Amino acid sequence: MTVLEQPGSYRPTPPPAWQPRTDPAPLLPDAEPYRLLGTPAAKRLDPALLRRLYGQLVRGRRYNTQATALTRQGRLAVYPSSTGQEACEVAAALALEEQDWLFPSYRDTLAAVVRGLDPVQALTLLRGDWHTGYDPHEHRVAPLCTPLATQLPHAVGLAHAARLKGDDVVALAMVGDGGTSEGDFHEALNFAAVWRAPVVFLVQNNGFAISVPLAKQTAAPSLAHKAVGYGMPGRLVDGNDAAAVHEVLSEAVHRARAGGGPTLVEAVTYRIDAHTNADDATRYRSDAEVETWRAHDPIALLERELTSRRLLDDAAIRAEQDAAERMAADLRERMNQDPALDPMELFTHVYAEQTAQLREQAAQLRAELTAAGELPGAPEGGPQEGTQR
């Protein structure tokens, strides 16, 4: 006989300890994605902010098209374009303070560039040249993360550590809708909520995890609704409305900084280009679907708002486009230069102190390069005996 089967042990309602620990109502997202552009609320927006968002969107679109072209020219091994999602990328970077950290996925090179990273450095990993391509501590941008969602627990750990140290730091972690199906997503949100870590999770719901539509990943009303199960607020926002995404993320960052804990933001957007240059998107979606989303383009939405308020004219539009072309030309010129690579740098920055296995592998590679006369810095005709870098 179990305890519950004993006479008098049954209770018609759960004991107090079983009651909800958090009122779920304030955590629920809006029924529809939050929007600002094209609504009366847009009139209160700062014109300077709107112009800044617009300029970054225009340059971001040109950055995407140039990087895509570089893959066709063999200058990049792969490029996951964020065309169509630029509003999320730009807003994420601009919502942070200088001391904050950005944790991007492999598709978020544009966010890293807007954060201040050199565009060539942002593409170095995708070029296959050298580790991350930049110093994460210098730029407060974590390494571009290729494994799905593994950057989320890292963001929580950094944010929690900063809070314990008393540092004024917020971490913003970006992930796609496919990443929400990973265990790392659950672990990160659960730890963040329990620890009340100052972290913001931005889910860019672009409709597909490569070829798998969202409906085949989850039966939840929205990805933002998942926040309630962890005890944090969920926000649902139009991911192509740059002003709305910036406002929602800024509010979430402010809440985290003030000790309010984490927020999960779902930005509903669309991946106009294929998953990468190696993907054939026509196999799983129609051209008509893509064209429908082109009509909801983030640049066009913001441009319409600015021109209707006479904050942007043809001359200003051309000036932003010219600036974007100059950025693209500089990127193209520098990416067309062959990098000077040292194969021995494969073993740099892997561990603070190399393991025995890495030392063995490094010695083997050095011997092979020496035998082939390909060790960097060696004189023509092969390196001198004992030469090493």
Residues annotated as catalytic (active site), given as ranges: 271, 275, 284
Cα–Cα distance between 339 and 299 in angstroms, integer?
A: 34
Beta-bridge mates of residue 208: 213
CB 159 within 8 A of CB 197: yes
What DSSP line would sit under 210-246, residue for residue? TTEEGGGT--SS-SGGGGGGGTS-EEEEETT-HHHHH
81 CB-near residues (< 8 Å, 6+ apart): 64, 67, 68, 107, 271, 272, 273, 274, 276
Within 8 A by CB and 6+ apart from 66, the residues are: 328, 331, 332
For residue 271, give both structure tokens: 């991946």
From CA 275, how far away is CA 54, in angstroms rounded?
25
DSSP assignment letter at 266: E
CA 92 remoteness from chain centre: 8
- The H helix count followed by the E strand count for the chain is 12, 7
The sign of the torsion formed by the CA atoms of 70, 72, 78, 80 equals positive
